[in-house]
Structure 1
Amino acid sequence: MITKGRFLPTLVLGIGGGALAYWLHTPLPWLLGAMLATTLVSLTGVRLRPPSSSRKAVLVVIGVMLGSAFTPDLSGDLPLWGASLVIMLLATAVMMAFSVWFSRRVAGYSLDTAMYSGVPGGVSAVTLMAMDSNADLRVVGLTHAIRILILLIAIPPLLQLIGHVSLQSGGISLAQWLWLPTLEDAAWLTAAAVAGVWLGNWLRLPNALLFGPALLSAALHLTGVTEAAIPPTIITLAQVIIGVSVGVRFAGTSLIDVGYNLMMAVVQTIALLLIAILAAWIVHALTGYSLAAALLAYMPGGAPELSLVALSLGIDPAFVTSHHLLRITVLILLMPVLLSRFKRLSA
């Protein structure tokens, strides 16, 4: 109870930032508003309590929500997904190669630090793996945090530039805010959440709390067993907590002390973003698939954040989630092999 109480001021700050952004009709108001509010306060030196159990619960909820995007009418798009997934893996290889080269040759980091900070995604799993290596965890954590921050800030103008995507935050009625699913739908959603966590752990999925419920929820929705949806109030709270989770990573960070690492992280992120934009444009040109969906699917990092953005904006969340799941799974499986190979080459 004490831990939850300590998180309450952070949550209130996040809700306040989200409410202000919502009032100003900014894109992605609850996510970006909460993220920017907590980031700014953290950078002043105030240590905000991060969400722990709250974030875990939100990951499960997001997983169930993402699974609901997999409807029976997706079958016609699956052949296009295959080509896109291949291009995404090739783009990921280019991103990884650039990140390691940049971190080693330009930033001057150790091989372990370069590898783990350069992975375009899977920050939670990557950080845990880095703890068992000789990597500088501060550099790894800062690089991933800066990358997610920049990506989320860059999304609205990029999508606005692409066009055909409505980013304006429209108000919804009180009745819509208070809408709740039926008891039967609530039971299906709860079952997908609980059994999905078990499934994710059993399959040893990366980010099991997110992708386990997503897989089970997708199976239920694809087969037409249920069409259950998540209430808007819960979706809003999920966006706030995810935004807060990014912002509090800068707690106690002094920009003067970490200026060099910050600059390296920013340059690396911009380069990876450019690679993602190029790859998204290529798959759009070859397949005619949505450029906005491809862009969110190819962005280097933040699977929960980017999948939630896709869901919030209605930009093919099933497509985006599938790409991030495949990329994170492949990267985590290959990381030990790649690190060993690079060490032998540099020996």
Structure 2
Amino acid sequence: MSLIPASKIPALPGRAEAFRVLETLAIGTAGGVLFLWANLPGGLISGAMIAVGGAALAGRQLTLPPVLTQTVLVLLGISLGSLVSRQLIQHMSAYPLTIGVLALATFCTTFGSSFYLQRMHRWDPTSALLAASPGALSQITMLAAEKGADVAGIAVVQTIRVIILTAALPLLLAVTGVTPGALPALPGEVASPFGLAALIAASLAAALLLRLVKFPASWMFGAMLASSVLHGTGLVEGGLPDWLRNIALVGIGALIGSRFVRIRLATLRSHVAAGLGSFAIAILISAVFVTVLLMTTDVRFADIVVAFAPGAMDAMLALALTLHIDPIFVGAHHLSRFVFVSITTPGIVHLFGRPQDDVDD
């Protein structure tokens, strides 16, 4: 006699759902391989994202199940942690200044993009503020639904920003002449079987612990923290096999592209101008702060650009991995912005957004 109620036992995926997952992975892999063959920077992520996003807009019901998403995030976290060295850890003294500047930049870009959406596209203040808030998409969406804001429009603007950044940042760094040779290199050797087992066990334990305390992006950051400690202390040498790391990069690209499944083509068309315009405003304002830091500190151009990019935390950290950028610097800044946005956005919406009474009328 079973002690577990039937309603509590997770159901096996049906044939239709399994087919959608396989189709998502096949399309993402094809796009990633094509971009990699074309020698485009960040090709695996960008190619998978664009291919899956295009298929989703064409009507394909593409999806990745939670367990596969979590696996991808853990693998990315382990790979990011394998970039950590004692030299990178020594550079952390400059973080308080740049994180402080990032908070100011986030505040300015949010209000600048919001002002644009209100004046040029006649958005209500609440929807404009939530669409302009960089990162923390799940929290922003829940707050939008609670406040009666334009959830579809906010999702389109936020998704357009992530897609453009993920595709454009590698090209920007390539055009400006930033070469991987000047950046931290991925470990050339594969960790020993014992090392791989230690990495996986420690990463899962750290991720589950952070998840228990409701830490943001717990799967990726927990794995990254555990891997960073093991590599930074020299307890583990080497990283994941290249093929496994490449699967994770294709997976995160496919995950980003699959966001378009929830967006109707008509909704996308009606909000694309707002998304592109608000993105341009955010980039222009961010560029001012990036320029100031480049002129006054010795932070590398690639590090500061990816750290200040107003995109999703998982996507930007994945780019840091594929472009061989300092993962500690990028991770610390995107985590700081996530916390800043999560804490301050409800208060900002309450003060400057549409009153809740207006929603209920």
- With the shorter chain as reference, the TM-score category is 0.7 to 0.9
Match of 2:50 among 25, 36, 53: 36
Measured against aligned partners, the alpha-carbon deviations of 1:135-180 in whole angstroms (never above 9, x if no partner) come to 222112111111011112221331123213249xxxxxxxx8xx75
- More off after superposition, 130-139 vs 24-33: 130-139
TM-superposed deviation, 1:256: 4.4
Which structure has the larger Rg? 2
- Report the equivalent of 2:135: 121
- Report the equivalent of 1:65: 79
Structure 1 residue 6 and structure 2 residue 20: aligned? yes
- More off after superposition, 221-230 vs 118-127: 221-230
TM-superposed deviation, 1:343: 4.3
Structure 1 residue 339 and structure 2 residue 319: aligned? no
- Report the equivalent of 1:76: 90
TM-superposed deviation, 1:51: 4.5
- Report the equivalent of 2:70: 56
| Distance (Å, rounded) in 1 between the aligned partners of 2:146 and 2:354 | 19
Cα–Cα, structure 1 residues 345 and 16, in superposed 2: closer, same or farther, change >3 Å?
Answer: closer
- Report the equivalent of 2:231: 221
TM-superposed deviation, 1:76: 3.2
Match of 1:17 among 23, 31, 45: 31
- Which ranges in structure 1 are unaligned for 5 or more consecutive residues? 168-175
- Report the equivalent of 1:109: 123
- Report the equivalent of 1:148: 162
Cα–Cα, structure 1 residues 50 and 115, in superposed 2: closer, same or farther, change >3 Å?
Answer: farther
Cα–Cα, structure 1 residues 157 and 94, in superposed 2: closer, same or farther, change >3 Å?
Answer: same
State the AA in 2 paired with 1:321. Answer: G
| 8 Å CA contact retained: 1:84, 1:283 | yes
| Distance (Å, rounded) in 1 between the aligned partners of 2:326 and 2:113 | 28
- Report the equivalent of 2:195: 185
TM-superposed deviation, 1:60: 2.0
State the AA in 1 paired with 2:96. Answer: G
| 8 Å CA contact retained: 2:199, 2:227 | yes
TM-superposed deviation, 1:257: 4.5
Q: How does 1:277-316 map to 2 (within 5 A)?
A: 277-316=287-326
| 8 Å CA contact retained: 1:43, 1:252 | no
| Distance (Å, rounded) in 2 between the aligned partners of 1:147 and 1:292 | 19
Cα–Cα, structure 1 residues 202 and 51, in superposed 2: closer, same or farther, change >3 Å?
Answer: closer
- More off after superposition, 190-199 vs 216-225: 216-225
TM-superposed deviation, 1:269: 1.0
Corresponding pairs, count = 337
- More off after superposition, 282-291 vs 183-192: 183-192
| 8 Å CA contact retained: 1:51, 1:245 | no
Match of 1:45 among 59, 64, 70: 59
- More off after superposition, 100-109 vs 325-334: 100-109
Measured against aligned partners, the alpha-carbon deviations of 1:297-342 in whole angstroms (never above 9, x if no partner) come to 0000121111111111112122111110111011112222222222
Structure 1 residue 264 and structure 2 residue 278: aligned? no
Measured against aligned partners, the alpha-carbon deviations of 1:79-118 in whole angstroms (never above 9, x if no partner) come to 2222221211111111111122223333223333223221
Cα–Cα, structure 1 residues 113 and 227, in superposed 2: closer, same or farther, change >3 Å?
Answer: farther
| Distance (Å, rounded) in 2 between the aligned partners of 1:46 and 1:245 | 14
State the AA in 1 paired with 2:211. Answer: N
Structure 1 residue 239 and structure 2 residue 249: aligned? yes
State the AA in 2 paired with 1:44. Answer: A
| Distance (Å, rounded) in 2 between the aligned partners of 1:263 and 1:239 | 29
| Distance (Å, rounded) in 2 between the aligned partners of 1:40 and 1:202 | 36
State the AA in 2 paired with 1:245. Answer: L
| 8 Å CA contact retained: 1:116, 1:126 | yes
| Distance (Å, rounded) in 2 between the aligned partners of 1:267 and 1:326 | 26
| 8 Å CA contact retained: 2:45, 2:252 | yes
- More off after superposition, 13-22 vs 120-129: 120-129
| Distance (Å, rounded) in 2 between the aligned partners of 1:99 and 1:42 | 27
Secondary structure of the structure 2 residue equivalent to 1:120: coil
| Distance (Å, rounded) in 2 between the aligned partners of 1:302 and 1:47 | 22
TM-superposed deviation, 1:25: 1.7
* Normalised TM-score (structure 1): 0.88
Match of 2:111 among 81, 93, 97: 97
- Report the equivalent of 1:173: none
Measured against aligned partners, the alpha-carbon deviations of 1:34-84 in whole angstroms (never above 9, x if no partner) come to 111122222323332344331122112222222333322224312222222
* Normalised TM-score (structure 2): 0.85
**Cα RMSD (Å) of the superposition?**
2.5
| Distance (Å, rounded) in 1 between the aligned partners of 2:190 and 2:81 | 18
TM-superposed deviation, 1:232: 1.4
- More off after superposition, 5-14 vs 59-68: 59-68
- More off after superposition, 313-322 vs 250-259: 250-259
Secondary structure of the structure 1 residue equivalent to 2:311: coil
| 8 Å CA contact retained: 2:303, 2:329 | yes
Secondary structure of the structure 1 residue equivalent to 2:146: coil
| Distance (Å, rounded) in 2 between the aligned partners of 1:5 and 1:39 | 17
TM-superposed deviation, 1:8: 0.3
TM-superposed deviation, 1:255: 4.1
Secondary structure of the structure 1 residue equivalent to 2:147: coil
Secondary structure of the structure 2 residue equivalent to 1:45: coil
- Report the equivalent of 1:170: none
Cα–Cα, structure 1 residues 332 and 230, in superposed 2: closer, same or farther, change >3 Å?
Answer: same
Secondary structure of the structure 1 residue equivalent to 2:169: helix
Match of 1:161 among 166, 175, 181: 175
